Structure 1
Amino acid sequence: MRPRLSRSLVSVMLASAITLTGCSTAADGDTRSGQPRAGGTLRLGLDYDPVCLDPQQSALGQSLDIGRQVVDSLTDQDPRTGKTVPWLATSWKSDKRATRFTFTLRPEVTFSDGEPLDAKALKANFDAVHRLAAASSRGAVYLSGYRETRIDGPLTATVIFSTPNAQFLRGTSTVSLGLLSPRSLARTPQERCTGEIRGTGPFTLGTYRANTSVTLNRRPGYDWGSPLWARPGGAYLKSVEYRVVPENTTRSGSLSSGQLDVATAVAPQDTERFTGGGFALLRRTGPGVGLALYVNSARPALSDVRVRRALQKGIDREAIAATFLSSPKLAASSVLSSTTPDYTDLGTHLGHDPAGAKRLLDAAGWRPGPDGIRVKDGEQLRLDAVFVRQQSLELVQQQLKEIGVRLELRPLTISRFPQVLGSGKYDLSLQSANRADPDVLTTVFADQSPVSDRALRADLNRASASADDAERERIFGLAQTRLVDDAHVLPLNEVEVTVARSDRVHGLGLDASNRLLLQDTWIG
């Protein structure tokens, strides 16, 4: 029966989450055009290779979108209200300190390799994520302070933490804490990355050809979907083919010519062509940390808060949003996007003030050199920014040059990017982090980025540990202000993720973290 009532590297700004508006689990709500039909293969274009298909290890949006079809979660999060609802767990309870969480599992659920979902399997999953540690890009953060999972009965288990962990329950709705079969967990991390994983989800992994394609197949007998889905039983689609098409123009052209049914990460200049005429364009601002330059304040020049604040004032966010997104309204107004719970509007703190920026640099001892680039102790104020997709950085480069800062752009491959972040040998990094929870601030700025303010990191950890909603909101609000005012992060713009689809495609959906959902999708 359907339940009555969902220290590691953060995801880089590569993720092409497919998002859209609608009424039920953010589905596109166009089933009025006909009755749903079973069968068919959905051809979906990705802008990047998923690299690692194991959602417990990967933080890349493409991988998590695929994993969401294969792996179910203990709970789900309503994208409209933020409320946590049952899924594979029919019920749960926690102590007042948020150190113990007891889950009762839905009976008769199986992994696609035939193993049962029971308390032993639940324990095996949380133990495995804990062992992965830094290799678990997000799951290990949700399990901060994990001590053990105690088996209380065949379908009941208690997850125990040594310190309060209020973010854990909401984390159980994410695909990063989605459940894999014990046989999958026995595989090596590399084997799991290449597709040796089995979940309880409505699809199973078929083939993975690196940098080319990933296929999924409908799982027969599936009947335990999230209560937020329109269809709790098996998927309509017979199969899904993800095709890796990095070039924006090629991906859009493939949709126009009928070679693809869905194209993700549609470029702003291509949006008009998919409004009508047999296509539909779907948009939604993603929750979490928007597109931003994370500041490595361990670097000599950036250890001076006056330099960091000058960079903050030197950036014209409205010009960036107007130029690259065709909408000044998407200019960043905080470190969190406006769709994230507990977002604090800091738009007045992020105004473009080049004169103020120059005064700060003067006060910090950086004087204009012959070519306009500032100099101190014989060294130019030269910074580098690492990125995988540079997006608006050329304009940022021009804006910072106006205040006397030379910004050098250093492109990296997907695999090289986390290595450079781990080495600390960079000044700025272009990233974002998609998550419908203010705890993303703790994940990014307390656990991962080199924020120099220890008190700020401690406050973020305290907010994530607190079970008091009002206290969490207060601390996260103050933290957003300090992150911006002390320029530990340079917000650029909100991320309006887009997808274009043929009007033959119906029922696309996404979860609260903007992970693509294909359970209700059908081809007319």
Structure 2
Amino acid sequence: IAIVIVIAIAFSWLYFFQAPPQKPTETTSIITTPTKTETPGKYGGELVVANIADVLRMDPMLVTDVPTYTVIYQIFDFLVKYNYETKQYEPALAISWEASEDAKTWTFKLRKGVKFHDGTPFNAEAVKFTIDRVLDPQSKSPLSQDFRDNIESVEVVDEYTVVFHLKNPLASFLDRIIRSQGAMIVSPTAVKKYGDAFSNNPIGTGPFMFKEWIPGERVVLVKNPDYWGGAPIIDTLIYKPMPESAAQVAALQAGQVDVILSIPKESIEILEKDPNIKVYKSPGYTTFGIVFNHKSEFFMDKRVRQALNYAIDKDEIVNSLFKEIGVRIYSPLPLASWAYTEDVNKFEYNPEKAKALLEEAGWKPGPDGILEKDGKKFSFVCITQEGKEAEDLVTAVQSYLKKIGVDMKIQIFEYGTWVDMLVTHQFDAAYIWWAAAAGDPDHYFPFLFYSTGWANCGLYNNSKVDELIIKVSQTPSFEERKKLAAEAQRLIVDDVAWIHFYSKYTTVAMKKIIGGYYVASPAEGEIDFYKVYFTSPKR
């Protein structure tokens, strides 16, 4: 999974974001709804899920947003899966794997008898095809560069044995590559059949099969009766886009949806007290902040970025606005990460220091109180996605900056447009978030802060940080990786690539008559409906 933004996967992610494609009027698969089956005490039927936005592209190698990842997570499988309770990797499409002594060669033994949703066989050739698509220099995948930086080649030994040859040791190989969306195994036959339209006709080996997408209205999946792990009990999964969290809550309480994936802070207590609803809450891997475009005329000077960081009371913003849904962080990693450190410059609220730094950088108060330099006012635009959480944060930032003579204007965009502007660097400053599949720093640093990282929206560039990011990836020692990651965090924070605010709890709410659900992952997007069922027939 590695996602700002919804950054994600990476998830490996990902802060997930991607420019929206041209959406068809309607996409319908050849898949038909399987015969309904039920087990005593466990009932199938139609499970309706409120998604925070519509899907963009459903080709895994192109997915960089959480709402789409949430859907394709049901359609495709990885070679391995990760058990967040036991902290162990477990078999999925691969039944076993081993690494060479130098950690540069990884051999996977594959599960036999698995078929894609189009009836074609899963085998080593399908694995090689999937990875080679991302490795292709002409690939449109944002993960392509990272794959090429790490993978030398993929070798088919026999029908059910595949070998990955790496260019260098990679401590987080299973997480960063094998469990990234680019390594979700696709049907070679379907990709060749549909070409670019595969994004609208996704075919995998997962527990649910794509049936229909009506843009702006719903995505429909049906259960895979031949799933290698056994058929799901739920017959149909329907995802409905609902950008407003309050609308999701109202729909859940009214019985219009069964599951919601975004709970506003003011609704958590209400839902927890509702006898018909169950709320699941766990520490998450999603981080939130403000990113500066380091090529913007306003923010090329490090002193200016530091000044704005001192000018904002981040503790007060998080405590007053996001306490119920997140926890304050001081570095680029979430609090749940084993590599997180607070041994950094915390940029505690100090407006006087902010003013001094700005004056040192040449910004002086103008007649209207707005700072000026060389006849130009310090007036810039911060872009954000629509939604209460995003708008609350940027509005709070705006009010603090006004106090020191900085005029920050806010422009609010529809989700897809905001993502497009982020990845094409069309902003001075921007609200940003990144959702990862795990807390390993390799799910954050290479994508967000490496000079050529695909999710480095602010065009941050520090050669020392680049060196540290590579060392964190390649060093086998856990303790040494932790030290290197801490050093990288100190530099990134001091440079103010982002202003860091909070990491969010992963929250899911659903009807109490839904059984079989467990928190499969703290990562946003990895919501597993495979074993879910209704405890009584749905009315």
TM range, normalised to the smaller chain? Answer: 0.7 to 0.9
Distance in 2 of aligned mates of 1:352 and 1:80: 38
Corresponding position: 1:421 with 2:422: yes
- Taking a change above 3 Å as real, the CA distance of residues 133 and 463 of structure 1, as seen in their structure-2 partners, is farther
- The runs of at least 4 consecutive aligned structure 1 residues that moved more than 6 Å come to none
Aligned-pair identity (%): 24
Corresponding position: 1:64 with 2:61: no
Distance in 2 of aligned mates of 1:208 and 1:471: 47
- Taking a change above 3 Å as real, the CA distance of residues 455 and 246 of structure 1, as seen in their structure-2 partners, is same
Corresponding position: 1:454 with 2:463: yes
Selected match of 1:463 from 457, 472, 483? 472
Aligned-pair CA distance for 1:339: 0.9
Farther-moved stretch of structure 1 (417-426 vs 477-486): 417-426
| Correspondence for 2:268 | 271
| Correspondence for 1:444 | 448
Distance in 1 of aligned mates of 2:350 and 2:193: 54
For 1:517, what is the secondary structure of its paired residue?
A: coil
Kindly provide the CA deviation profile for residues 449-478 of structure 1, in whole angstroms up to 9, marking residues without a partner as x.
211312212321332233333332222111
Aligned-pair CA distance for 1:38: 3.5
Aligned-pair CA distance for 1:307: 0.7
Give the letter for the 1:331 counterpart. Answer: R
Distance in 1 of aligned mates of 2:103 and 2:71: 31
Contact persistence 1:97–1:467 (CA under 8 A)? no
Selected match of 1:286 from 284, 287, 291? 284
Corresponding position: 1:42 with 2:47: yes
Corresponding position: 1:522 with 2:525: no
| Correspondence for 2:432 | 431
- Taking a change above 3 Å as real, the CA distance of residues 187 and 322 of structure 1, as seen in their structure-2 partners, is farther
Selected match of 2:155 from 141, 150, 168? 150
Kindly provide the CA deviation profile for residues 427-459 of structure 1, in whole angstroms up to 9, marking residues without a partner as x.
222222222121121111111321131221232
Corresponding position: 1:481 with 2:523: no
Where in structure 2 are the equivalents of 1:111-260 lying within 5 Å?
A: 111-131=116-136, 135-138=140-143, 141-142=146-147, 144-171=149-176, 172-187=178-193, 190-194=196-200, 196-224=201-229, 233-260=230-257
For 2:213, what is the secondary structure of its paired residue?
A: strand
Distance in 2 of aligned mates of 1:512 and 1:177: 20
| Correspondence for 2:20 | none
Contact persistence 2:7–2:434 (CA under 8 A)? no
For 2:136, what is the secondary structure of its paired residue?
A: helix
Distance in 2 of aligned mates of 1:277 and 1:133: 53
- Taking a change above 3 Å as real, the CA distance of residues 60 and 133 of structure 1, as seen in their structure-2 partners, is farther
Contact persistence 1:15–1:61 (CA under 8 A)? yes
| Correspondence for 1:12 | 5
Distance in 2 of aligned mates of 1:256 and 1:132: 49
| Correspondence for 2:27 | none
Aligned alpha-carbon RMSD (Å):
2.6
- Taking a change above 3 Å as real, the CA distance of residues 54 and 281 of structure 1, as seen in their structure-2 partners, is same
Aligned-pair CA distance for 1:86: 2.4
Contact persistence 1:286–1:495 (CA under 8 A)? yes
Distance in 1 of aligned mates of 2:483 and 2:92: 30
Contact persistence 2:129–2:188 (CA under 8 A)? yes
Distance in 1 of aligned mates of 2:194 and 2:404: 50
Contact persistence 1:235–1:519 (CA under 8 A)? yes
Distance in 2 of aligned mates of 1:498 and 1:328: 8
Selected match of 1:349 from 342, 346, 361? 346
Distance in 1 of aligned mates of 2:98 and 2:241: 42
5+ unaligned residues in a row in structure 2: which ranges? 10-38
For 1:494, what is the secondary structure of its paired residue?
A: strand
Where in structure 2 are the equivalents of 1:496-507 lying within 5 Å?
A: 496-507=505-516
Farther-moved stretch of structure 1 (56-65 vs 459-468): 459-468
Contact persistence 2:345–2:493 (CA under 8 A)? no
- Taking a change above 3 Å as real, the CA distance of residues 329 and 253 of structure 1, as seen in their structure-2 partners, is closer
- Taking a change above 3 Å as real, the CA distance of residues 174 and 35 of structure 1, as seen in their structure-2 partners, is farther
Contact persistence 1:367–1:374 (CA under 8 A)? yes
Distance in 1 of aligned mates of 2:54 and 2:304: 37
Kindly provide the CA deviation profile for residues 403-428 of structure 1, in whole angstroms up to 9, marking residues without a partner as x.
22221222233333344234433222
- Taking a change above 3 Å as real, the CA distance of residues 68 and 170 of structure 1, as seen in their structure-2 partners, is same
Distance in 1 of aligned mates of 2:3 and 2:223: 31
Kindly provide the CA deviation profile for residues 291-336 of structure 1, in whole angstroms up to 9, marking residues without a partner as x.
0112221223312111111121122222222332244972223211
- Taking a change above 3 Å as real, the CA distance of residues 15 and 475 of structure 1, as seen in their structure-2 partners, is closer
- Taking a change above 3 Å as real, the CA distance of residues 170 and 234 of structure 1, as seen in their structure-2 partners, is same
Give the letter for the 2:529 counterpart. Answer: L
Contact persistence 1:321–1:328 (CA under 8 A)? no
Distance in 1 of aligned mates of 2:496 and 2:54: 32
Farther-moved stretch of structure 1 (411-420 vs 335-344): 411-420
Aligned-pair CA distance for 1:482: 1.0
Farther-moved stretch of structure 1 (102-111 vs 278-287): 278-287
Give the letter for the 2:191 counterpart. Answer: L
Distance in 2 of aligned mates of 1:117 and 1:487: 46
Aligned-pair CA distance for 1:133: 6.4
| Correspondence for 1:3 | none
Contact persistence 1:71–1:175 (CA under 8 A)? no
Contact persistence 2:278–2:509 (CA under 8 A)? yes
Distance in 1 of aligned mates of 2:192 and 2:145: 18
5+ unaligned residues in a row in structure 1: which ranges? 1-5, 17-33, 225-232
Kindly provide the CA deviation profile for residues 154-189 of structure 1, in whole angstroms up to 9, marking residues without a partner as x.
111111233443333213134442111111332556
For 2:380, what is the secondary structure of its paired residue?
A: strand
Distance in 2 of aligned mates of 1:324 and 1:35: 45
Kindly provide the CA deviation profile for residues 77-127 of structure 1, in whole angstroms up to 9, marking residues without a partner as x.
222454333221122222344432211111112211122211111100000
Distance in 2 of aligned mates of 1:415 and 1:258: 28
Normalising by structure 1, we get a TM-score of 0.87
For 1:467, what is the secondary structure of its paired residue?
A: coil
Selected match of 2:82 from 77, 94, 100? 77
- Taking a change above 3 Å as real, the CA distance of residues 15 and 466 of structure 1, as seen in their structure-2 partners, is closer
Normalising by structure 2, we get a TM-score of 0.85
Give the letter for the 2:369 counterpart. Answer: G
Kindly provide the CA deviation profile for residues 351-370 of structure 1, in whole angstroms up to 9, marking residues without a partner as x.
22222211211221211222
| Correspondence for 1:110 | 115
Aligned-pair CA distance for 1:347: 7.2
